[in-house]
Amino acid sequence: MISIASSKPFRFSVGPNKREFNVHSALVARQSGALGVLINNTNYKEARGAHAELEDVDEQTFVSFIQYAYTDTYTDTYTDTYTDIPPPPTAKADYDPPNYDSEQSSRFHYGRKKKKANARLWERFKKQASQGCPSDPPPIPTMSGPGSQRSGAESFLHHARVYVFADYYGISRLAEMALYNLGQALVGFNLRDNNVEEVVELLKFCYEEPRPDQLRSLVLLYAACKAEKLWKSAGFQQLVGKTGDLSTDLIGRLMDRLD
């Protein structure tokens, strides 16, 4: 700790507005080998000037990185908006279906198979969303006060951006934490007709540019679980139509549901 506290500050200019952040150089170098080279290798102008520009990094993402570096966790300022989790449905005993005619009976059995397939896919998503969870994950701090409540999309995108940043700079534990936080946010999100676009925004982030496979896999599995609701969105239909990777991956996941 003494070596960190006594290390020289390193200045980062972050985002298109080049907002400046000063961080203990030894702390940043300990988190990321790539950033450590940038800070300590005097062959780079950044190391010689103790200053680096990260124009492609979102400011809030970098703030979360700093929080993680100093506190071993990071703040999600948007958590409060997706706590509206419906209670689990009351368990129903199995029963023999009524004596429908053949067409009605066929529809009935198809509906039951479809529900079971959807339930299996959702369980698979929840399992994947919990992978990499620390044995005792720290609670995600939330900010209170005016302006702290944001849309689910902003929360999803925040975790996704932190994951992309951590994955790019080789900060494995932060990447693990961000992916876990995103998964839990999606598990707890009450998807309705009036908030479908919030998931569409996350899909755009994952598919309109190259993103790590683990991030795409998690979000895609969620989309497959919620495909029927998402399909009601014109924005989702347009995204699927123009994004070949998304349409191919989504069809593959939906076919898995039938296995």
pLDDT digits (tens, 9 = 90+) for 102-118: 555 544 444 566 678 78
Mean pLDDT, the chain, integer: 81
pLDDT digits (tens, 9 = 90+) for 13-67: 999 999 999 999 999 999 999 999 999 999 999 999 999 999 999 999 999 999 9
For residue 43, the model assigns a pLDDT of 93
Confidence class for position 152, pLDDT limits 50, 70, 90: confident
Section 163-170 average pLDDT: 97
Share of the chain above pLDDT 70, in %: 75
Section 123-138 average pLDDT: 76
Q: List the chain domain ranges.
A: 6-56
Question: What single letter denotes the amino acid at residue 250?
Answer: L
What pairing do the DSSP bridges indicate for beta strands 19-24 and 51-54? unpaired
Residue 92 has pLDDT above 60, yes or no: no
Q: Looking up tokens 């124009």, which residue turns up?
A: 55
- Phi, psi angle pair for 35, to nearest 5°: -70, -30
Task: Give the span between the Cα atoms of 41 and 48, in whole angstroms.
Answer: 8
Section 139-152 average pLDDT: 45
Which of 35-39, 134-138, 149-153 has the largest mean confidence?
35-39
For residue 113, the model assigns a pLDDT of 63
The conformational region for residue 98 under phi > 0 = left, psi -120 to 50 = alpha, else beta, is beta
Section 81-97 average pLDDT: 37
98/136: higher pLDDT: 136
For residue 102, the model assigns a pLDDT of 54
If you count DSSP H runs as helices and E runs as strands, how many of each does the chain have, helices first?
13, 3
Q: How much is the pTM?
A: 0.79
For residue 3, the model assigns a pLDDT of 64
CA dihedral angle for residue 207, residue 209, residue 214, residue 216, rounded to 10 degrees: 0
254/127: higher pLDDT: 127
